[in-house]
Chains A and B, each alone.
Chain A
Amino acid sequence: MRLLIPRQTIRKVLIACAVSAGLLASAAPASSAPLARTGWLRLAHLSPNTPAVDVYLYSFGNPRAQVVLHHVSYGTVSPYLPAPAGTYTVAMRAAGAAASSAPVLSTAVHVKVGHAYTVAGMGPKAGLRLVVLDDQLTAPSGHSMVRVIQASMREHQVTVRSKTHLFGRNLIFATATPFESLPRGSYLVHADGSTEAASDQVALRSGTIHTLVVLDNSGHLKLVDLTDAVGAKTLPTVAPATGFGGTAAGAAGPSLLPWAAVISAGLLLAAIGLASLRRNRRQQAGVYTGSPPLADTAE
């Protein structure tokens, strides 16, 4: 049979009726679901005397690696990999070692939605460990967030400073400072050990998050500026006005709710009417059984 009314329309009517039968619908839920549906992980090799490694990322309980980074050498930091919330295992094997071989090192990482983590192999080869660092994803207005990872083994203690700011004094090998906020600007950053030094011009734009890494390099220190995350330089405070309404009337469409209310009222009224009708009938019926009309018996 061909329907004259589109099926979609019928479905909408049925849904609206169901809503009205349920009478008062609950208020529409606010749009508060989290926007990010994953967290982020990046993997780093920051142990100066450890040869290149293969880094494996496993979702906990799944023996098949989700990601394998081959031949990761000292000073390498991967881009962030999106990772749904959950527990992961990061394992390091010597470069080229079979995936089935026992890892040199492994650690568990708990990833939360909307959070970022750096998992770094740190320390000397003899005491190599995987460190999970919580990364920052917000910066106050007009500011940049910065932290320092000291990954130089030749200089056991390094002081990192600019003319106006001390990032860290006597930072010990294989440690990281917490993030701190700095006014945006360009900073000439010096990293000084007891004999070796390095310096770098670092542009800290507002809304950016940086990790400065002090590395051993041939004969001198090396200062690397990693961009962890970037936001807009200026956050607008007013939502953009991007329409003039020329297509609005059609786009909005008439609401179904008032009609649902009318149907509810109708149902209610009909129910009341039916109830009172029944009551009346029952009362009248009572009269008949009590004293049957004489005319009937006379026949």
Chain B
Amino acid sequence: MIALLAGLLVLVAGTAGITTAAWHDDHAQDVFGRVPHVTAPRGPIAAVPGPARQAKVPRPVFLIIPAIGVRTRLVKLGITASGAMAVPTTTKVAGWYTKSPRPGAIGPAVIAGHVDSYHAEGVFFRLRRLRPGDQAYVVRSNGTLAVFRITLVRLYRKSRFPFQAVYGPVPYPALRLITCGGTFDYTTRSYLSNVVAFGEELTGKSVTRR
């Protein structure tokens, strides 16, 4: 009898706890807040390169992702002594990894940005909200656009980061957008995972104008 009562009591407590937790979890999704209104840029869309001798692709200067309200200039990112890709010095801009192909050239163009600062949202705060089919626009130094369709957005533990899939050779012009995500480890003050969005370049006629 006592066991039954105790069991029911624990059951009620558990249900109450899980309801509160789930409620809290729902609320946590609201932290993304309102997506800033960003419109797709206008401009001539670059042709997708063929296999013959590669023409010089202009430098990327701006990244625009209307679906998650991103509009940022692109800084240059090199590689650090420890073998990591450098990251932007401010959390408000994204950067293009200069050891990767330029956006619109054959290969994976890698662009990284911070998810947050110590107290606020970073430029790629909403990256994990990107969905397959969303479009990302890279404006190049000559005013032309390379337009990419997002094909996959995934979260990887840093210990299992897919270096080859992100940076390795591909036979078409691709885009990789990288930020942090998952659990934040307060002892090491770093996130335990990375969010990676994969994209492929669209030809002019397959770009959807909104």
A207 touches B168 (CB 8 A): yes
> Knowing A209-B169, A247-B115, A266-B14 touch, does A232 contact B106 (C-beta < 8 A)?
no
Min distance, Cβ B1 to any Cβ of chain A, angstroms: 6
Are A236 and B163 closer than 8 Å at their CB atoms?
yes
Q: Are A251 and B28 in contact (CB under 8 A)?
A: yes
Q: Does A295 contact B (CB under 8 A)?
A: no
Is residue A102 contacting chain B, with contact meaning CB distance below 8 A? no
Instruction: Judge whether A247 and B10 touch: CB under 8 Å.
Output: no
Contact among B48, B168, B191, B198 for A79, CB-based, below 8 A: B48
Given A229-B107, A256-B21, are A240 and B112 neighbors across the interface (CB < 8 Å)? yes
The residue from B9, B10, B169 contacting A229, defined by CB atoms under 8 A apart? B169
Do the beta carbons of B31 and A250 come within 8 Å of each other? yes
A273 and B10 contact, Cβ closer than 8 Å, known pairs A35-B162, A209-B169, A242-B178: no
**Which chain B residues in 99-126 approach chain A with CB under 8 Å?**
99-101, 105-108, 110, 112-122, 124-125
Query: Cα distance A91–B22 when bound, in Å?
Result: 57
From residue B203, how far is it (CB to closest CB) to chain A in Å?
9
Bound CA span A241–B106, Å: 26
Q: Quick check: B15 and A263 within 8 Å, CB to CB?
A: yes
| A243 CB contacts on chain B under 8 angstroms | 114-116, 122, 179-181, 184, 190-191
How far is B169's CA from A233's CA once the two chains are assembled, in angstroms? Answer: 10
Return B10 CB to nearest CB of chain A, in Å: 3
Type the 1/0 row for B18-30, where 1 means its CB is closer than 8 Å to any CB of A.
1101111110100
Most buried by B among A207, A230, A249: A230
Whether, in the assembled complex, A98 has its beta carbon less than 8 Å from a beta carbon of chain B, the answer is no
Q: Cβ of A42 < 8 Å from any Cβ of B?
A: yes
A238 at the interface (CB under 8 A from B): yes
A262 to B116 CA separation, bound complex (whole angstroms): 34
Within 8 Å of chain A (Cβ to Cβ): is B194?
A: yes
Q: How far is the CA of A251 from the CA of B179 in the complex (A)?
A: 14
A269 touches B10 (CB 8 A): yes
If A235-B168, A250-B28, A262-B14 touch, whether A229 touches B106 (CB-CB below 8 Å) is: yes
Q: Which residues of A lie under 8 Å from residue B21 when comparing CB positions? A: 254-256, 259
Minimum CB–CB distance for A87 against chain B, Å: 20
With contacts A240-B194, A253-B24, A259-B18 taken as known, whether A269 is within 8 angstroms of B178 at the C-beta atoms is no
Which of A42, A225, A231, A266 contacts B107, CB < 8 Å?
A: A231
Contact B116 A31 (CB under 8 A): no
Does B120 lie within 8 Å of A246, measured CB to CB? yes
B79 CB, nearest partner CB in chain A, Å: 5
Instruction: State whether A236 and B25 are in contact (beta carbons under 8 Å apart), knowing that A35-B198, A77-B52, A244-B118 are contacts in the complex.
Output: no
The tally of residues in B whose CB lies under 8 Å from a CB in A reads 93
| Residue from A135, A232, A241, A277 with most neighbouring chain B CB atoms (10 Å) | A232
Asked whether B7 is an interface residue with its Cβ less than 8 Å from the other chain, the reply is: yes
B202 → chain A closest CB, angstroms:
12
Is A259 a contact partner of B163 (Cβ separation < 8 A)? no
Instruction: Find the A residue at minimum CB distance from B180.
Output: A243
Write out the residue numbers on chain A whose beta carbons fall within 8 Å of the beta carbon of B83.
Answer: 236-238
B42 at the interface (CB under 8 A from A): no
On whether A259 and B25 interact (CB within 8 A), knowing A236-B79, A242-B112, the answer reads: no
Q: List 16 A-B contacts (CB under 8 A).
A: A9-B22, A138-B169, A231-B169, A231-B170, A233-B100, A234-B79, A241-B84, A242-B112, A243-B115, A243-B184, A243-B191, A245-B189, A247-B115, A254-B25, A262-B14, A270-B11
Binding site for B on A (CB under 8 A): 5-6, 8-9, 12-13, 16-17, 20, 30-31, 35, 37, 40, 42, 77-80, 82, 116, 135, 137-139, 207-209, 211, 224-256, 258-260, 262-274, 276-277
Q: Besides the contacts A235-B164, A251-B181, what 20 more A-B pairs have beta carbons closer than 8 Å?
A: A12-B18, A16-B22, A35-B162, A82-B172, A207-B107, A229-B170, A230-B105, A232-B100, A238-B82, A240-B180, A242-B87, A244-B118, A246-B121, A247-B31, A247-B120, A256-B18, A259-B21, A269-B10, A270-B10, A276-B3
